[in-house]
Structure 1
Amino acid sequence: MDLPSLHTLPREDRLYRLLPAVHRIRDAEQGYPLQALLRVIAEQVNLVEDDIARLYDNWFIETAEDWAVPYLADLLGYQPVEAALGEGTGTQALERVRVPRREVAHLIAQRRRKGTVSLLEDLAFDVSGWPARAQEYFRLLDRAQHLNHLHAERLGTADLRDMLALDRCESPFDTLAHSVDLRRIQSRHRRGRYNVPSVGVHVWRMRSYPVTRTPAYCVEDAGAQCFTFSVLGQDAPLYRMPRPEPDAFHQADEQNLPLPLHRRDLREHLHQDYGADASLAVWAEQWAGQDGSVPVPVDAIVVADLSGWRYRPPRGKVAIDPQRGRLMFPPDQVPKKGVRVSYHYGFAADLGGGEYPRPARRPPAPFTLYRVGQGGVSSLPRLGDALRKWEEDAPAHAVIELMHSGVWVEPVHVRLRPGQSLTLCAATGTRPVIRLIDWQTDLPDALGVELDVGSRFALEGILLAGRPMQVSAPHDPQAYADEAAKTPACGAELAIRHCTLVPGWGIGCDCGPERASEPSLELLGVQARVQIEHSIVGSIQVRQDEVGTDPIALVITDSIIDAAGSGDAIGAMDAAVAHVRLTLRDSTVFGQVQVHAVELAENSVFDACLNVARRQIGCVRYCHIPCHCRSPRRYRCQPDAVVAAVRARHLPDAIETTLIDAERQRVQPRFESRRYGLPGYARLTPDTALEIRRGADDGSEMGAYHDLYEPQREANLRARLDQHTPAGMTVGLLFAD
């Protein structure tokens, strides 16, 4: 008989189908033992074939696996920069930074373009992933000209009427003339730029993140016509959506870089930066005869200074202040159907709620999916409708997905049965906001979650403001305690991933917290494992029976815990310490931590004291933790290391005390901003001590931005720039943000 093609057979039965029909008939009579055997063999054959296919893909840099990239680079003579990596083993993400795939792919082309200024911009992005602009500073020098050979394009006296050029002074886009500065551009002490051999490569580490079709915030204190782009109501600069460069030889300008928008710059490029697919847009339904399905026309946009809300836009116009993130309508022409905006904000990493790509984690199949806000027959209009339908259906596993970046102003209460799981998440490419308000005068209005034995609740991609998230046990505490005693660790789980629980419940126009003393997450008598990943969370308060129950497990990774300037970042409501076992990795904590025990804390920054009840449990390694704290054993922490180095010198007591105080002050972490809502929130400044910026176990920085591996990126880029410097020139790496 005609045998079927090997490639068209099902993978699990392809060997069995190759047998003659007589053997298959006899196998069926005996209960298919031969088929089961050949399925096991076919499984191994499939593994071998897949491995051979992957080996073919590994011949090409575009399709090669991460482990094969260094081998392909070695074939081209690529030498990775051996930066100090500490004692860490090196993760796969770190190896991708040390040997960038983009640089290996473009290595031959870069060698052919070696010595050109345009290469430096492409090289910076290929090596570090940072957009860059290269500037030859000899072109900005004030030079004398021969009267018989005048050059009108050469720079001269600054035009004081050209305000745009004056705004760009000392920036990477400077066009004004400067006198010669003889200091070296590579100096680590007093850097100079404007010299004949100097070439500056300005890099931007800040990223531009979008927010799409979200409601604007009406600043009622200033007037019904006053709005902010941010739904939280704070003043924050708007950022540009970078546009791709036309070719490899093009020098990057403002349109190609993730820059904060300035008023004059936006006014000059308004037609490029305004629109539904541009940097910002405004929708106002039935305002001035406008169709709410399309943005307000660009001709109706006025760029103005809205500080103090003193400006009055003309009738039929909308004023926008990109530096403060504000917009204003005419006082006699206030929109009645609401205002929606799209814009971009600046931040350094994929952290907290945002529209950036997030790995989707779903419960084990089968699960029930409820979509909210999408429109259509299968979608529910409100979050409350989805919760009611979920309670009626009572599935074992369910997912409620919010489908757009809107604001959900609803009371939310979730009650899980034993063994039940629910995931409340944002759809891909969205950042929904759950804004809790004072719905009931006699009851709290938190986002309530009741976890029963073996239940699981996950919150993903959500921004929560207005009230805290309150996790508690069922109403019958005795039955819950009896059932929990039968199950180790109760089996319940709470997961918060890529979320923002706004510190202080909300922020003002200056990004100051509205309720600094209030927690953002409350754990009330619940026996569960709590996990927080890639999130920004305010104060965490725990109320737990310290006598009758074991400490709950609290695991925090790649996150920021912010006490909003007062109180404990992690503490107890009615006890000295929170009854938790804390595990903290790659995180930044603002405020004191008062816990029962710390199992492990590594690569983290504690801005205030860490105090534990059980010092003999756990370890703190490669962290910054203030002195005189009641902490577990410390290993290579700061400022312990610098203090030990001073004491090892055996100096006189007075000198030793002075040097120790100076060293403690030197290694104190410095942040660009401690207030949530600003672009540089919880980010270390460039002048922070190297012991902090490169103090993690793998040579990266301590804190929530550890996984960016910026020290390794910087070391690689500096080495590559030196190798590709044009002849006779000196290249300096300059951080523009």
Structure 2
Amino acid sequence: MLELLANDIAGWPARAVEYYKLLSWTQALNHLHLERGRTVDLRNNHQLELLNSPFDQLTHTVDVRRINSQHTIGRHNIPSIGMFVWRLKSYSVTQSPAYCVEAEGHHCFTFSVLGNDAPLFVKPKPETDPTHIADEFNLPVPMRRNALAAHKDHLYGVNNSFYIEIGIKDGKSEDIKLIPLPYKIISADLSGWQYHPHLGTVAVDPVLGRITFSPQQAPKNGIWVSYRYGFSANMGGGEYDRQLFRQTDFKVFSVKQDGPLKTITEAIKQWVETKPAHGIIEINDSREYVEPIKIEFADGHKSLQLRAANGKRPMIRLIDWRTSQPDALIISGKVGEHFTMDGVMITGRAVQLDGDLKHVTIRHATLVPGWSLDCNCQPQCITEPSLEIFSPRVCVVIEHCILGSIQINPTLPESNEELEPYTHLSEDEEMQTYILENVVQRAQCEGVEREIRLDPIRLCISDSIVDATSSDQEAIGGPDCPIGYAVLTIIRSTVFGKIQVHAIELSENCIFDGLITVARRQYGCLRFSFIIPGSRTPSRYMCQPDLVESAIEESLRKQAKLLPTASEIEAAKYCERIRVKPQFNSIRYGTPTYCQLALNCAREIKRGADDESEMGVFHDLFQPQREANLRTRLDEYIPAGSDVSIIFAS
């Protein structure tokens, strides 16, 4: 009943544990419970691995501390009931190419197409009996090695948690077919890639997300994997349900492995030839696309969407195709044209916006921070941007995305013919001449020449993560310039790195883990956000650590018999700044707990938004409200004399 309550009230999968069943006790000979009260069997590795977990089976001595204590929590007592809840979700990836780790050997692979270690998650199966206590197969938990070894039939298979397929060539045909893996699956620890399986077997490490074949039997035509990974929310693209936007008169160019258009380049070529006003290039699988992509609007084109089909997660890998030229994904357009990128993942290079695009929307997409990852989820190119903006009058909207740093460097042409659209700013001929000859001219920016613009571009970010890979790197700004010439609106987002822009029109419910520098402080507002001390910002309202600093100073002045010195006040403020600084379970993209606030994070951050939800990108999960509602209902439903506590398992 308590598990059903957690699902209905908070939407969290849960497991209820009655701790009195795990107490060590002496049994009566005429009333034996062989399944309870057992001492520890040091030879049972399975039970030892589950020690102090939600699935603990070992017995413990009595802990007199209450499980719902506000000070120190004790679990193992007669009235104690633990409600373990899982906040991470289990997301699917279907028939995605595995990454071959050639540095370790042609027989070594990772489930993640980016090449990083990522733990596999269990596909939760529904409970058929309401009285059944949820186990590992009913919950979105990371897969254990011992669990895979003992329950291979429950975890491996087409409709189970993961599945591996290998590619073969059919005779002389170059087409690659997928067949079920005929080998025997072995659960192994592949740390260091030292284990080599025997012929006819495949070693899988679910904790690291690695696969190893026998060196003599390595697949020559690649392998494809279907598996599940863990994350907090529907963002960055994936096989979750999302809303797709369409124009009334659109033309769809479908890209699919077994369709007429097999590559994105072929679809772009057909889009250019047919010249529809509104076009959609839709990718209908979760494959990897390795090809140079350049999208250039022509006469007759008004809008284009490059998107994944609903329930698909394709990846575009940009590599070094040309030695003497950049290999970014380039989108170039004319005045009044719209471009949308939806549901795709891009790695290897950046995305460049060029020409006179009017509006660009990036939605549910991932532009891998640092371009690519190593096995430990460390970014490979920490100084490289994920998005470069060269369009002078574009409005960029970013929603539910994960991306690296954003560089703003739009320029205007130098020829007077191309600058004539700017003369409408004044009807005075002398002012028009001044604009052409003086305002639109080369500017010196730290010794690097740049063409200046009349108006800043607009950059609107919501429910997204901007990760410069370090708080010292530039997350949003202009290359070789003190600031990026843009007006920023950012809500419900988390930013790792410095922000250097012309102005911030609105910042709401955000976490900024890096200094902010704006040129116009009289314009805009920051509210209900965490801001690094020393930042140059417009006016702030209910921001941290401003609130705790003013509160501690006021408290010192009231409590002290003598007025506190400036050094005492500053020391107290410093302690408060450290206390409320946001703490994350992980700050590396590719890990399941990426950007999730830690349990020891300050309450001022976890409930610091305008609606008392948490600050940052996961604001709309409303986890503080879910927890409060569940605690209220648990007190109504627990047995009399029992104590219950919510324990976050993820």
Do the structures match in fold with TM over 0.5?
yes
Corresponding residue for residue 678 of structure 1: 591
- Classify the secondary structure of the residue corresponding to 2:180: coil
- Classify the secondary structure of the residue corresponding to 1:285: strand
Corresponding residue for residue 282 of structure 2: 401
The code of the aligned residue for 1:442 comes to: S
Is 1:549 aligned to residue 549 of structure 2?
no
Q: Which has the higher helix share?
A: 1
Structure 1 residue 148, shift from structure 2 partner: 5.4
Corresponding residue for residue 313 of structure 2: 431
Structure 1 residue 156, shift from structure 2 partner: 2.3
Structure 1 residue 636, shift from structure 2 partner: 0.2
The answer to whether the 8 Å contact 1:625/1:637 transfers is: yes
Corresponding residue for residue 669 of structure 1: 582
* Residue 318 of structure 1, aligned match among 202, 206, 213: 202
* Residue 529 of structure 1, aligned match among 374, 395, 418: 395
- Classify the secondary structure of the residue corresponding to 2:240: coil
Structure 1 residue 451, shift from structure 2 partner: 2.4
Is 1:335 aligned to residue 219 of structure 2?
yes
In structure 1, C-alpha distance between the alignment counterparts of 2:63 and 2:193, rounded to whole Å: 42
Is 1:578 aligned to residue 484 of structure 2?
yes
- Classify the secondary structure of the residue corresponding to 1:389: helix
* Residue 15 of structure 2, aligned match among 117, 130, 133: 133
Range that drifts further, 553-562 or 410-419: 410-419
Corresponding residue for residue 726 of structure 1: 639
Q: Which aligned pairs between 1:594-605 and structure 2 lie closer than 5 A?
A: 594-605=500-511
The code of the aligned residue for 1:618 comes to: G
Q: Which aligned pairs between 1:144-293 and structure 2 lie closer than 5 A?
A: 144-147=26-29, 149-286=31-168, 292-293=177-178
The answer to whether the 8 Å contact 1:275/1:295 transfers is: no
Q: Residues 560, 720 of structure 1: CA spacing in aligned structure 2 closer, same or farther, 3 A cutoff?
A: same
* Residue 519 of structure 1, aligned match among 381, 385, 402: 385
The code of the aligned residue for 2:536 comes to: R
Q: For residues 247-277 of structure 1, what are the alpha-carbon distances to aligned partners after superposition, in whole Å with 9 as ceiling and x for unaligned?
A: 2111100100000001001111111111111
Corresponding residue for residue 250 of structure 2: 367
- Classify the secondary structure of the residue corresponding to 2:269: helix
Matched residue count: 598
Structure 1 residue 147, shift from structure 2 partner: 4.7
Corresponding residue for residue 38 of structure 1: none
The answer to whether the 8 Å contact 2:26/2:37 transfers is: no
Q: For residues 8-29 of structure 1, what are the alpha-carbon distances to aligned partners after superposition, in whole Å with 9 as ceiling and x for unaligned?
A: xxxxxxxxxxxxxxxxxxxxxx
- Classify the secondary structure of the residue corresponding to 2:216: coil
In structure 2, C-alpha distance between the alignment counterparts of 1:686 and 1:591, rounded to whole Å: 23
Is 1:353 aligned to residue 229 of structure 2?
no
In structure 1, C-alpha distance between the alignment counterparts of 2:164 and 2:150, rounded to whole Å: 18
Range that drifts further, 542-551 or 346-355: 542-551
Structure 1 residue 145, shift from structure 2 partner: 2.5
Corresponding residue for residue 645 of structure 1: 551
Is 1:120 aligned to residue 25 of structure 2?
no
In structure 1, C-alpha distance between the alignment counterparts of 2:631 and 2:392, rounded to whole Å: 51
Q: Which aligned pairs between 1:65-76 and structure 2 lie closer than 5 A?
A: none
The answer to whether the 8 Å contact 2:37/2:59 transfers is: yes
In structure 2, C-alpha distance between the alignment counterparts of 1:366 and 1:148, rounded to whole Å: 80
In structure 2, C-alpha distance between the alignment counterparts of 1:154 and 1:227, rounded to whole Å: 43
Corresponding residue for residue 190 of structure 2: 306
The code of the aligned residue for 1:539 comes to: S
Structure 1 residue 164, shift from structure 2 partner: 0.4
In structure 2, C-alpha distance between the alignment counterparts of 1:711 and 1:347, rounded to whole Å: 18
Q: For residues 418-461 of structure 1, what are the alpha-carbon distances to aligned partners after superposition, in whole Å with 9 as ceiling and x for unaligned?
A: 66210000011100000000000011000000021000110000
In structure 1, C-alpha distance between the alignment counterparts of 2:71 and 2:334, rounded to whole Å: 60
Is 1:706 aligned to residue 619 of structure 2?
yes
The answer to whether the 8 Å contact 1:543/1:574 transfers is: no
The code of the aligned residue for 1:630 comes to: R
Structure 1 residue 188, shift from structure 2 partner: 2.7
Is 1:387 aligned to residue 300 of structure 2?
no
In structure 2, C-alpha distance between the alignment counterparts of 1:152 and 1:368, rounded to whole Å: 68
Range that drifts further, 591-600 or 563-572: 563-572
In structure 1, C-alpha distance between the alignment counterparts of 2:333 and 2:455, rounded to whole Å: 17
- Classify the secondary structure of the residue corresponding to 2:627: helix
Is 1:736 aligned to residue 602 of structure 2?
no
Q: For residues 477-500 of structure 1, what are the alpha-carbon distances to aligned partners after superposition, in whole Å with 9 as ceiling and x for unaligned?
A: xxx6xxxxxxxxx7x101000000
Corresponding residue for residue 459 of structure 1: 341
Corresponding residue for residue 66 of structure 1: none
The answer to whether the 8 Å contact 1:413/1:448 transfers is: yes
Q: Which has the larger radius of gyration?
A: 1
The code of the aligned residue for 1:526 comes to: P
- Classify the secondary structure of the residue corresponding to 1:154: coil
Q: For residues 348-382 of structure 1, what are the alpha-carbon distances to aligned partners after superposition, in whole Å with 9 as ceiling and x for unaligned?
A: 000102111111012x2211100001524xx4111
Q: For residues 106-135 of structure 1, what are the alpha-carbon distances to aligned partners after superposition, in whole Å with 9 as ceiling and x for unaligned?
A: xxxxxxxxxxxxx00000000000000000
The code of the aligned residue for 1:429 comes to: G
The answer to whether the 8 Å contact 2:168/2:178 transfers is: no
Structure 1 residue 657, shift from structure 2 partner: 2.1
The code of the aligned residue for 1:412 comes to: I
- Classify the secondary structure of the residue corresponding to 1:467: coil
Structure 1 residue 334, shift from structure 2 partner: 1.1
The code of the aligned residue for 1:527 comes to: R
Range that drifts further, 724-733 or 132-141: 724-733
Q: Which has the higher strand share?
A: 2
- Classify the secondary structure of the residue corresponding to 1:202: strand
Q: Residues 204, 711 of structure 1: CA spacing in aligned structure 2 closer, same or farther, 3 A cutoff?
A: same
- Classify the secondary structure of the residue corresponding to 1:659: helix
Q: For residues 545-569 of structure 1, what are the alpha-carbon distances to aligned partners after superposition, in whole Å with 9 as ceiling and x for unaligned?
A: 5743200000000000000125200
Structure 1 residue 236, shift from structure 2 partner: 1.2
Q: Residues 398, 261 of structure 1: CA spacing in aligned structure 2 closer, same or farther, 3 A cutoff?
A: same
Q: Residues 547, 286 of structure 1: CA spacing in aligned structure 2 closer, same or farther, 3 A cutoff?
A: closer
The answer to whether the 8 Å contact 1:451/1:526 transfers is: no
- Classify the secondary structure of the residue corresponding to 1:503: coil
Unaligned runs of 5+ in 1: 1-118, 474-479, 481-489
Is 1:294 aligned to residue 179 of structure 2?
yes
Structure 1 residue 598, shift from structure 2 partner: 0.3
Structure 1 residue 722, shift from structure 2 partner: 0.7
- Classify the secondary structure of the residue corresponding to 1:648: helix
Corresponding residue for residue 369 of structure 2: 503
In structure 1, C-alpha distance between the alignment counterparts of 2:400 and 2:383, rounded to whole Å: 23
In structure 2, C-alpha distance between the alignment counterparts of 1:154 and 1:558, rounded to whole Å: 48
- Classify the secondary structure of the residue corresponding to 2:489: strand
The code of the aligned residue for 2:458 comes to: A
The answer to whether the 8 Å contact 2:272/2:298 transfers is: no
Q: Which aligned pairs between 1:620-659 and structure 2 lie closer than 5 A?
A: 620-649=526-555, 650=557, 651=560, 652-653=564-565, 654-659=567-572
Corresponding residue for residue 443 of structure 2: none
The code of the aligned residue for 1:388 comes to: K
* TM-score in terms of structure 2 length: 0.90
Q: Which aligned pairs between 1:414-429 and structure 2 lie closer than 5 A?
A: 414-417=295-298, 420-429=302-311
Unaligned runs of 5+ in 2: 412-450
The answer to whether the 8 Å contact 2:392/2:453 transfers is: no
The answer to whether the 8 Å contact 1:354/1:461 transfers is: yes
* TM-score in terms of structure 1 length: 0.80
- Classify the secondary structure of the residue corresponding to 1:166: helix
Structure 1 residue 717, shift from structure 2 partner: 0.3
